[in-house]
Structure 1
Amino acid sequence: MIRRGILALCLLLAGAAHAAPIRVVDDAGLTLELVRPPQRIVSLTPHLTELLFAVGAGAQAVGVDSASDYPEAARGLPRVGDYSRVNFERILALKPELVLVWLGGNRPADVHGLKAMKLPLLHTRATRLDDVARLLRLLGRASGHPAQGERAAQQFAQRLAAIERRYARGRRLPVFYQVWDRPLMTVGGGHWISEALAVCGARNIFADLTALSPVVSREAVLQRAPEVIISGSDAPDVHAGWRRYSELPAVRTGAFVRVDADRLHRPSPRLLDGVVQLCESIAPYER
């Protein structure tokens, strides 16, 4: 009888801990308070979906955006819209206890609409490599998995540090990272891809620009003379667009690199796989 009583008490305490109230300050400086860990979570970007699964809260996800395709379990979840527009009716029908949004990624009008519906929102930002570790901690606490979030964050930070040591270079190879062609878009110095280039021993030729994804002119690219031109797998063929500019060092040597956008363009734990691929792709052009 005593053993049964102790067991019942342990189960009661475990249940109470699992249902502990949630209180976190998000990236908009707003305090999110929930009476218990949310069991119905909607994610509105692919990287937030990945982060949710990475902290052990995948089973709590009930809806995601149309581009959330990783991990495999995310592919079978209901779709609630994409980067251009979310479907408010679908989100409401899922009765979410928490909605994850990306400031700077989701449309302000959509975020405003979700607020107007009085849905609990967790506002997030991501611009730098180490934001992934910070977001793992934040989502871990917000979803009721603080220990798993902390563990995942530490693993990410340790692997990032190892990559930085492995690819440390003296020379800074001038690189143009092309996000899109019409308009011609790149990444500014505050973007994690610019930081990833530095980790790989390269230099983003537009690192002086403050916008995260600035539009630039072809004349500006020609003037800054990149030795390598890089694009993501989701962009048009950059070789076709630049091969007639024989004055560019990258064109003269055929230094065109294409990387996996799903990894390098998403601030999730897989981002480091993208950084390694980026470094390995650049290495042959370093002299």
Structure 2
Amino acid sequence: MRIKLFLLILFSFIFNQFSYAINKQKIVTLAPNLTEIVFALELEDQLVGNTFLCDFPKQAQSVYKVGQYNDPSLERILISGANVVLATEGNPVSKLNKLKSYGIKIIEVNPKIADDLPKIINNIAESLGAKKKGIELSRDIQKAINSLELRVKNKKSFLFVLQFNPIYSVSEETWLGDLFLKSGLKNIVGKSVIKYPIISTEFLLKNKPNIILVGAIKGKNEKESLAIQRENIKKIFGKDSEKIEVVLVPKDVLVRPGPRITEGIKFIEGL
């Protein structure tokens, strides 16, 4: 096994040097939003690997899989022949450092506020040699963010439920929380030090929101998903749940910091 890994590393190093020499870029993406960015930059022909969660656009599903975003396989990344890896928060730092030591270029992005989104696309585009397309994409995203910030503020309170049992939500101290902040909507979680905190039933009963945003249930249609999520909310608030507006969030467009965030912003504007 060790001999096999050594030969893989040696082959990868030699191959990377050769690839750089002939200016041939081979990209692996370690998160769904990064895969979407590569496709939006029209560089999909250079994409040689991504994670099992990378499902959009449809073509991304047939790309060679290197593992989960929080546990990618070094061996599979080396087998892919990648000389560039796009990484983000949640990817294991120890493995990224290993890849760097093998001569693979690592481009790391980690948006902290909403205005970072166009910047990271610009940075990735420039690093990958697609500057013109990157400027176009980032301009569209910045325009959507500016529009959200300038519109008439919606003062309703909300809770974004990432999952039930336990209830995970999102604080204002994230790029997504910042996006909602720009809209004027009041996040009942506020500026929690923990980016994605677990919310107690006691807290919810004391801070009942006007709106609860929920995700679809896998294998269920919109109507079925809403019915299930309303039952989950009723278990918390009882009869008071009838006064709460429950809204189904469109799949992925609001939680992935990538080119489709413009669709997510339109969703926020419609609340």
Which runs of structure 2 are paired with 1:84-163 in the superposition (5 Å)? 84-102=70-88, 104-163=89-148
| 2:212 matches 1:226 | no
Give the distance between the partners of 2:177 and 2:22, measured in 1 at CA. 39
The structure carrying a bigger helix percent of its residues is 2
- Offset of residue 134 of structure 1: 0.6
Q: For each residue in 1:75-133, what CA deviation from the matched residue of structure 2 results, as whole angstroms up to 9, or x when unmatched?
A: 2211111134212211101111101110x222334434434544221111023222221
Q: Is the alpha carbon distance of 1:248 and 1:107 closer, same or farther for their aligned partners in structure 2, counting shifts above 3 Å?
A: farther
Question: Is the CA contact 2:83–2:103 (under 8 Å) kept in the aligned structure 1?
Answer: no
Structure 1 residues 276 and 130: alpha-carbon distance in aligned structure 2, compared to 1, 3 A threshold = same
Q: Is the 8 A contact 1:37 1:142 kept in 2?
A: no
Q: SS at the partner of 2:96? A: helix
Which residue, out of 46, 49, 55, partners 1:63?
49
CA displacement, residues 207-243 of structure 1 (integer Å, 9 cap, x when unaligned): 2202221122111121112121112336884322220
Partner SS, residue 261 of structure 1? coil
Find the partner of 1:238 among 220, 225, 229: 229
Which one of 159, 174, 177 corresponds to residue 191 of structure 1? 174
Name the aligned partner's letter for residue 242 of structure 1: I
CA distance in 2: counterparts of 1:224 and 1:168, whole angstroms? 24
Please identify the structure whose Cα radius of gyration is greater: 1
Q: Tell me whether 1:173 sits opposite 2:163 in the alignment.
A: no
2:17 corresponding residue in structure 1: none
Q: Deviations over 1:13-45 (max 9, x none)?
A: xxxxxxxxxxxxxxxxxxxxx777551010010
Q: For residues 274 and 87 of structure 1, what CA distance do their matches in structure 2 show?
A: 31
Matched AA of 1:78: Y
In 1, distance between residues paired with 2:92 and 2:100? 13
Inter-CA distance 35–153: structure 2 relative to 1 (3 Å threshold): farther
Q: Distance in 1 between matches of 2:174 and 2:239?
A: 24
> CA RMSD, aligned part only?
2.4
- In structure 1, C-alpha distance between the alignment counterparts of 2:22 and 2:142, rounded to whole Å: 29
Q: Distance in 2 between matches of 1:44 and 1:253?
A: 41
Structure 2 spans left out of the alignment, 5+ residues: 1-19, 219-224
Are 2:183 and 2:268, in contact at CA under 8 Å, matched by a contact in 1?
Answer: yes
Query: Deviation of residue 186 (structure 1)?
Result: 0.7
> Which sits farther off after the overlay, 194-203 or 138-147?
194-203
Q: Taking structure 2 as the reference length, what is the TM-score of the superposition?
A: 0.80
Percent identity between matched residues is 23
The number of aligned residues is 244
Kept in 1, the 8 Å contact 2:141–2:261? The answer is no
- Matched residue, 1:13: none
Correspondence 1:255 to 2:245: yes
| Counterparts of 2:201 and 2:256, CA distance in 1 | 26
Q: 1:36 to 1:220 in 2, by over 3 A?
A: farther
Contact 2:167–2:198 under 8 Å retained in 1: yes
Q: Which amino acid aligns with 2:163?
A: W
Q: 1:276 to 1:89 in 2, by over 3 A?
A: same
Q: Would the aligned equivalents of 1:187 and 1:214 in 2 still touch at CA under 8 Å? A: yes
Could you tell me which runs of 5 or more consecutive residues in structure 1 were left unpaired when the two chains were aligned.
1-33, 283-287
